[in-house]
Amino acid sequence: MINLTAKIPWRLNTRLRIALILLLLISFLSYQFIFISNFDYPIHWFDPSSKISYYLGSQVYLRNVSRLPKIQHDFNNTPETINEKLIRETRRESIKKGFQHAWNGYTKYAWGRDELEPVTNDGNDHFNGWGATIVDSLDTMWIMDLKDEFNRSRDFVETVDFSKSDNVISVFETTIRYLGGLLSAYEFSKDHVFLDKALELGNALLPSFNSVSGFPYDSWDLNWNNDKNFRRPWTLANLAQVGTLQLEFMKLSQLTGDSEFFFKINNITEVLDSIPKPIPGLYPLYLDHETGEFVGHDISFGGSGDSFYEYLIKQYIFVGGAIDQFRRMYIESIDSMHKHLIKEGRIESRPDLLFIGELSYGSFVGKLQHLTCFVPGMLAIGSKVLNRPQDLEVAIKLADACYWAYEMTYTGIGPEDLWYMSSNDTFNESEKKSMNNRKDKNLPDGVIRLGHSYKLRPETIESLFILYRVTGDRKYQDKGWQIWQAIEKWCKTSSAYSGLINVNSEKVIQNNNMESFFLAETLKYLYLLFSPPDLISLDTYVFNTEAHPFLRMARTF
């Protein structure tokens, strides 16, 4: 027998043995890694862009998920100076301190209640009594790196029974605030307490869909779940209530493997898509639970309609373009919005402003709701994903009008509603005299009247944040900072922040209300406006209407 190793020099012989040992070791470790990765690791340890994320439960697999066009500006081409970075970080820290001030007041005076009343320092339970402010704020705390506050909140969530409430609940508010908050907290933390509670809540909501049309009853008593044949008497649904559950229920199906949640909301989309509409792509605000048909003629991108339109493009983004129906419905809506709802104002001092309005029985109404100011952000995102540059031009102009609504008031804070003269308005002498006798004497020419209140709403700030991320223009940071300065000046209380009764009065009175969305949306969008642009990138996440970020499906190459 020939001894091959004897002919090899001793140094080479040693090296060969070491190489063989290393090869065997690498092979063993590779086997262990493959074995453990495929069988032993919890599912949430997988990369979120892996193939498993293309499932909407065990019964639905999306085959055409693709990488959509980039939304965010390439900030590498516009680096900030040292001074710009210092200003940005100082402003961001101010927002964080504002959140901590509000959170500390809530924990001191209203822990476990839904909301803090920040003037009297009482608590209320307007949203099911499950601690809405806690659940709604979970991902804001995670993003701001407030882990102690997050962990205390996690322990509270573990004690909540989301299948029971002493109150009649709003399915819409429960879905966007609670379910959205739980799902986002799970995707950030990978703590299964949040996913378990989201599933508990999702199952508790399913019986509310037991109508002839499949539209959920928004006002729902969870005790009715005990009667499987229970059906509410005739009631109306509104467009936003039935059309703003889709992202949350799709995400729940994706994360739990239960396709039932997707089937429920997909039925709603199919019904809404098939109903005849007076104007293609524009949906009247109210629907009949039994017939599934529209009731009335009012059309608005504001209250009762807003987030339905918002979710069309966001669903398309979430599934990576795999369901083309969302894109088609969105384009139909936006094309008709341009034609019927967008008009130039007749503001004497700002003739350049472009406004969005409403339709009532087919007639245009020059009314800008604060809620409608999400539209610039929506258009900006859609312009990039669908290559519609004209939408971005309109978005910039509409955002100017929304910000101007802040600038024009005594407090520098935008009103709940603003009625304006549009380019095709004409007034007779009697109407002009009535306008001259209006209550608000200091309104700009062309503004008819205001809905005076401010509820700490986020929509204008949301659009400023998105436009900054899309264009890279730092003027949107400056505008956001001006709004924050006004909030600090007029809304801050000893314990938190309060809305205002009249934004245009020299006698500023706080309304003793701090909605949970102030911490979930307003402060989160402000914080992200002054954060590095890769923090919660719009190319990685899609926000639900309560500003809870969900990981998008993404094709890996």
- Catalytic site positions: 173, 306, 416, 459
DSSP assignment, residue 275?
S
- Asked if 550 contacts 183 with a C-beta cutoff of 8 angstroms, the reply is yes
What CA–CA distance (Å, rounded) separates 200 from 446?
51
Q: For the purposes of burial, counting CB atoms within 10 Å of the CB of 143, is it exposed (0-12), middle (13-18) or buried (19 or more)?
A: buried
What CA–CA distance (Å, rounded) separates 16 from 536?
50
Given the structure tokens 């009625």, which residue do they identify?
Answer: 419
Q: 61 has which bridge partners?
A: 55
CB atoms within 10 A of CB 349: 11
What CA–CA distance (Å, rounded) separates 80 from 468?
14
Closest-CA residue to 312 (of 289, 333, 295): 333
Residue 545 marked ligand-binding: yes
> Distance between alpha carbon 248 and the CA centroid of its chain, in Å?
11
> In this structure, what token pair is assigned to residue 484?
């924050």
Contacts of 454 (CB under 8 A, 6+ apart): 370, 411, 413, 414, 415, 416, 491, 499, 500, 503
- Asked if 318 contacts 543 with a C-beta cutoff of 8 angstroms, the reply is no
- Asked if 64 contacts 54 with a C-beta cutoff of 8 angstroms, the reply is no
What CA–CA distance (Å, rounded) separates 65 from 472?
28
- Main-chain dihedrals φ then ψ at residue 258, nearest 5 degrees: -100, 110
Per the annotation, binding residues are 545
- Binding-site annotation, residues for Ca(2+): 545
